[in-house]
Amino acid sequence: MTITEMKALNKAAGYHFFDRATIRFFNSHVVSKLYNNELFITAEQCWNKKNFFYTIRRFNSDSSIVNMGDFQQYTSLSTVRKEARRLSRISKTLEIL
């Protein structure tokens, strides 16, 4: 699955996560590929327009999207990427069990 396909499925299911107004309100954008076809990272620019904060999101089987952890939990792109890879490995392990 690609990010584009995920966006289309989310919209088709009646969700508004990727609507232009939502993205604009949170000054948000996707900054990663999909990890394990379900996890991805978004960046939201904070009020001072200088710093980004990052959130790991999960694309659910019903096409909804939820936070994995806290909203804007990460301040470093390298740290959030490392955590997303870790979480995707855990998710792959759970699929096998």
Question: Number of folded domains in the chain?
Answer: 1
Which residues does 82 contact at the CB level (< 8 Å), separation at least 6? none
Q: Which residues pair with 67 in a beta bridge?
A: 57
pLDDT along the chain (97 residues), means of 10: 94 96 90 91 82 94 95 95 93 51
Residue type, 77: L
pLDDT at residue number 92: 57
pLDDT at residue number 46: 74
Domain of residue 82 covers 3-96
pLDDT at residue number 96: 39
Assess contact for 39 and 68: CB atoms under 8 A: yes
Query: Does the pTM of the predicted model rise above 0.75?
Result: yes
pLDDT at residue number 71: 93
Q: What is the dihedral of CA 87, 88, 89, 95, to 10 degrees?
A: 110
pLDDT at residue number 93: 54
